[in-house]
């Protein structure tokens, strides 16, 4: 109670009024493509994380977004209604004495994610100077202000951090994996996402048990009420172009870039990737890319050597030991809808192929499967023949990996090669 009372008194002592011109765009900014995420008057464009409306503890006060300080680790997050991929984000902020907040991005909403920070990286906003005096314990370096939370830290002596109760200006530039954090005009951290160094940090510290952290290439902007009053204004964003990348997902030598889930066998034989039922065939097995892929054009070749019941998942996540959430393009014996689309979230088959197209599959021979995912629209081809063309909002909102599946039941063996992807 005393802690909360202190925060309320501290909040009342702060000067909140915004200057003329706050929460507006200049003609030059408009011409450059900048957009406001806060109009200075309403919370339009924001809602609860995982919800459909805004329920608090957020309000507009004197031209600022105020986080009242009633949130905690499990709630108090608001997100933009829109998702953003590559962007330049700017905002002004100030924090209460000993306070803690944050700006997150690429936040994914799905039933399996109870809080935004298990998917979205965070630009930490915190009162370094008074934290220990107010809260009774010291911050570790990766918790301090303007870090990439629990990942990358700056030269703290080179920062220009203004004290609690004074306005700071921050920026995040996310440009196709090249990330820059700026505080009051000075770069604090700069790094490349999804590199070996990035994955090493992700897999060894705070995020060791958060397998989907930081993988999404698009998502929502998120503000955090972490139990302390905080103020935000002049929140503006400029979207940056997304560059297309073409690459092979399988290098023909080993399983670099992939993670195995389940007890089935995945190995390389003669430059080909092989999936084969293991001794325990009571459950499914998956081999998933370490990276996420949102919009893409993927082509793969497969040959069913024995009971070829398999598939290609996309925009999907896999929870150990082998629970998948997402969408599958079916690969199965003839008569079982190869190139149809199945959903594991609960709706089951979204599209099964016409009976007359079952003959397109060449059992025991190499086949070419193509998957084109662009927003809500998903198309598949088998050996050059169009099989599926659907538009589905739920699929369009999905985020995740490419994953190859081996079905339960045993006796399955499928070969894969030439897994070529072009991001869109």
Tokens representing 174 are: 């996310």
**Given this model, what pLDDT does residue 18 score?**
54
Which letter, b or e, does each residue of 329-361 get, where b requires 16 or more Cβ atoms within 10 Å of its Cβ? bbbbeeeebbbbbbbbeeeeebbbbeeebeebb
Checking DSSP bridges between strand 341-343 and strand 348-351, what pairing results, if any? antiparallel
Helix (H, G, I), strand (E, B) or coil at 130: coil
Residue 55 binned pLDDT confidence (cut-offs 50, 70, 90): confident
**pLDDT at 2 exceeding the cut of 70:** no
Given a cut of 90, whether residue 403 has pLDDT beyond it is: yes
pLDDT tens-digit readout, 103-118: 999 999 999 999 999 9
Residues 395-421, mean pLDDT to the nearest whole number: 94
Look at residue 388 and tell me whether its pLDDT is greater than 70. Answer: yes
What pLDDT was estimated at residue 278? 83
Q: Express each pLDDT in 261-277 by its tens digit.
A: 998 999 999 999 999 99
Least confident of 26-40, 52-66, 232-246: 52-66
How far is the C-alpha of 128 from the C-alpha of 98, rounded, in Å? Answer: 7
CB 99 within 8 Å of CB 164 = yes
Rounded mean pLDDT, 64-78: 92
Task: Say yes or no to pLDDT of 236 above 70.
Answer: yes
Beginning with the edge strand found earlier in the chain, give each strand of the sheet holding 258-261 in spatial order: 258-261, 285-292, 401-406, 310-319, 323-331, 341-343, 348-351
- 280-289, 303-312, 362-371: lowest mean pLDDT where? 280-289
Cα separation, 6 vs 31, in Å, equals 45
* Strands lying side by side in the sheet with 122-126: 46-48, 77-84, 219-225, 100-107, 122-126
Mean of all residue pLDDT scores within the chain? 93
Q: Which residue has the tokens 């200049």?
A: 26
CA angle 94, 26, 175 (to 5 degrees): 70
What pLDDT shows up at residue 171? 98
Is residue 422's pLDDT more than 50? yes
What average pLDDT does range 303-318 have in this prediction? 94
Domains and CATH numbers, the chain: 2-239 (2.60.120.560), 246-423 (2.60.120.560)
Would the pLDDT of 5 be above 60? no
| Maximum average pLDDT range among 80-89, 271-280, 316-325 | 80-89
The Cα 123–Cα 117 span in angstroms is 11
């Amino acid at each position: 109670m005393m802690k909360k009372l202190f925060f309320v008194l501290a909040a009342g002592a702060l000067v909140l009024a915004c200057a003329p011109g706050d929460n507006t765009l200049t003609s030059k900014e408009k011409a450059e493509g900048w957009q406001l995420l806060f109009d200075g008057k309403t919370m339009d464009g924001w809602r609860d994380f995982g919800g459909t409306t805004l329920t608090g503890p957020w309000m507009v006060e004197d031209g600022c977004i105020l986080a009242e300080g009633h949130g905690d680790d499990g709630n108090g997050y608001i997100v933009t209604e829109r998702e953003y991929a590559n962007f330049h984000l700017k905002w002004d902020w100030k924090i209460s004495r000993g306070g803690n907040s944050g700006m997150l991005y690429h936040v994914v909403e799905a039933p399996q994610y109870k809080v935004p920070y298990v998917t979205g990286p965070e630009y930490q906003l915190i009162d370094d100077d008074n934290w220990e005096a107010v809260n009774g314990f010291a911050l570790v370096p990766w918790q301090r202000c303007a870090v990439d939370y629990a990942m990358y830290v700056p030269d703290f002596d080179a920062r220009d951090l203004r004290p609690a109760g004074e306005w700071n200006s921050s920026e995040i530039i996310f440009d196709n994996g090249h990330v820059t954090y700026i505080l009051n005009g000075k770069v604090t951290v700069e790094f490349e996402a999804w590199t070996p160094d990035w994955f090493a940090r992700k897999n060894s510290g705070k995020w060791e048990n958060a397998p989907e952290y930081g993988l999404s290439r698009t998502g929502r902007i998120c503000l955090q009420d972490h139990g302390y009053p905080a103020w935000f204004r002049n929140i503006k964003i400029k979207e940056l172009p997304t560059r297309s990348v073409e690459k092979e997902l399988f290098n023909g030598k080993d399983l670099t870039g992939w993670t195995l889930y389940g007890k089935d066998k995945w190995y390389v034989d003669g430059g080909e990737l092989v999936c084969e039922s293991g001794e325990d065939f009571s459950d499914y097995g998956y081999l998933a890319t370490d990276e996420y892929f949102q919009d893409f054009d993927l082509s793969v070749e497969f040959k069913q050597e024995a009971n070829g019941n398999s598939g290609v998942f996309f925009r999907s996540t896999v929870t150990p030991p082998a629970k998948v959430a997402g969408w599958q393009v079916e690969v199965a014996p003839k008569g079982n809808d190869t190139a149809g689309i199945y959903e594991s979230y609960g709706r089951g088959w979204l599209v099964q192929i016409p009976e007359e197209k079952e003959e397109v599959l060449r059992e025991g021979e190499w086949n070419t499967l193509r998957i084109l995912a662009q927003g809500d629209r998903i198309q598949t081809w088998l050996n050059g023949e169009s099989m599926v063309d659907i538009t589905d909002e739920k699929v369009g909102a999905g985020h995740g990996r490419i994953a190859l599946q081996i079905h339960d039941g045993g006796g399955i063996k499928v070969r894969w090669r030439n897994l070529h992807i072009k991001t869109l």
